[in-house]
C-alpha cells in the first residue's frame, strides 16, 4: 500500500496528542493549552504549550502540515532548477524545566515532499543538560541507540556523528549539549523503503515520553542553589544563540512565512548573558563546559 502525505500528517497529529498526554502525566500539574493557526499560503498547525507546570517551566509540542510554493531561497539552497510546490509536516518539541538538574530536550520528526516527486524524512532527538551528569548522558545515548538498532545498526553511529556536527556553535566552539541523533534527506527508492523509513521515524517519536519522563523524575526533586540557577540561565542563553544563529528549522520556518509564535516556541522563558563569564567560579559548570565537544562516545 502506497504511503501518502495525508497518512503521514495524520500520524504526526496523533503523535502530538500522545506526547502531550504522556508529558502531562509526568509533570503531574501542568496541562497543555492548544491554539490552531492557518498559514496564508497553505496549511496550518496546532501548537500546544505548558507554562509553569510542576516540573516544566515552559514546554511546547508543535504540529504542522503546510504547503505552497517553495521559497526562492530554499529552491536555490537545494539546487532545484524549476519552481516547485512543497508539502511539509511534522512534530517539533522543546522543553525547558524549572530545576537546573533536569535537562532541556528537543525532538523533531518531519516529512518533506516536492511536487517534482522528491520526498524524504528527517528528524532527531537531542539532550541539552544545563549541568551534565555523565551517567545520565550515557543512559540517554543508550536509549537512542536501542531505538536506532531496531531499524538499522548503522543508524546510531551515523546519526550520532551528524548530531555532533549539527548541534555545534562555531562562534562558541562548543556543542549545544550532549547531542543525540540527527538525520535528514532520508530518501526512499521504493514503497517498501519508504515504509521502513516511516517506521523508524515513528520509533523515534514514540521514544520521547519514556526517555524524558525518566529524566524528569530522576532530577526534578534534586536540591539546587543560586549558583545552579544562574548557570542554568547562562546555558539557556547559549541555547537561544544556537537556535537563532544556526538552526535550519528556525530559518526555514521564518523564511517560508511560518507562524512566528510557534517557531520561537523553542525559546526559554528566561535566559541570561554575562559579559566575560568566568566558568571557574562554578566548578560543576566548568566540568560541563569540558564535555561540550564532538565525538564523545557516550554509548
**Residues 6 or more apart in contact with residue 127 via CB below 8 angstroms:** 103, 104, 105, 106, 137, 140, 177, 178, 179, 180, 215
* Neighbour tally for 79: CB within 10 Å: 6
212, three cell numbers: 524524558
Using CB atoms within 10 Å of the CB of residue 104, give its burial: 0 to 12 exposed, 13 to 18 middle, 19+ buried. buried
* CA–CA gap between residue 134 and residue 76 (Å, rounded): 42
Of residues 119, 120, 182, 128, the one with CA closest to residue 156: 182
Q: What is the DSSP string of 121-182?
A: EEEEEEEE-SS--HHHHHHHHHHHHHHHHHH-TTHHHHHHHHHHHHTEETTTTEESSSEEEE
The active-site residue out of 46, 106, 130, 197 is: 106
Of residues 14, 171, 178, 50, the one with CA closest to residue 105: 178
130 is catalytic: no
Show which residues are catalytic.
106
Amino acid at each position: 500500500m502506497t504511503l501518502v502525505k495525508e497518512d503521514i500528517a495524520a500520524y504526526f497529529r496523533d503523535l502530538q496528542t500522545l506526547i502531550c498526554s504522556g508529558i502531562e502525566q509526568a509533570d503531574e500539574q501542568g496541562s497543555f493549552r492548544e491554539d490552531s493557526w492557518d498559514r496564508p499560503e497553505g496549511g496550518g498547525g496546532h501548537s500546544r504549550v505548558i507554562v509553569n507546570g510542576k516540573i516544566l517551566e515552559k514546554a511546547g509540542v508543535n504540529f504542522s502540515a503546510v504547503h505552497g510554493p517553495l521559497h526562492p531561497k530554499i529552491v536555490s539552497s537545494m539546487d532545484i532548477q524549476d519552481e516547485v510546490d512543497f508539502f511539509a509536516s511534522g512534530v517539533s518539541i522543546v522543553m525547558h524545566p524549572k530545576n537546573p538538574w533536569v535537562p532541556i530536550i528537543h525532538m523533531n520528526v518531519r516529512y518533506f515532499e516536492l511536487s517534482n516527486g522528491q520526498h524524504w524524512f528527517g528528524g532527531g532527538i537531542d539532550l541539552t543538560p544545563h549541568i551534565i551528569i555523565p551517567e545520565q548522558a550515557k543512559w540517554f545515548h543508550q536509549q537512542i541507540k536501542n531505538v536506532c538498532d531496531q531499524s538499522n545498526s548503522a543508524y546510531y553511529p551515523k546519526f550520532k556523528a551528524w548530531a555532533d556536527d549539527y548541534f555545534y556553535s562555531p562562534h562558541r566552539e562548543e556543542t549545544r549539549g550532549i547531542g543525540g541523533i540527527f538525520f535528514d534527506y532520508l530518501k526512499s527508492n521504493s514503497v517498501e523503503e519508504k515504509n521502513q523509513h516511516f517506521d523508524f521515524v515513528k520509533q523515534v517519536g514514540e521514544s520521547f515520553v519514556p526517555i524524558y519522563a525518566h529524566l524528569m523524575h530522576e532530577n526534578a526533586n534534586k536540591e539546587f542553589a543560586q549558583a545552579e540557577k544562574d548557570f542554568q540561565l547562562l546555558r539557556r542563553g547559549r541555547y537561544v544563540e544556537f537556535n537563532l544563529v544556526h538552526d535550519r528549522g528556525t530559518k526555514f520556518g521564518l523564511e517560508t512565512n511560518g507562524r512566528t509564535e510557534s517557531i520561537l516556541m523553542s525559546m526559554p522563558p528566561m535566559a541570561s548573558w554575562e559579559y566575560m563569564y568566568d566558568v571557574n567560579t562554578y566548578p560543576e559548570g566548568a566540568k560541563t563546559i569540558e564535555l561540550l565537544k564532538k565525538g564523545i562516545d557516550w554509548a
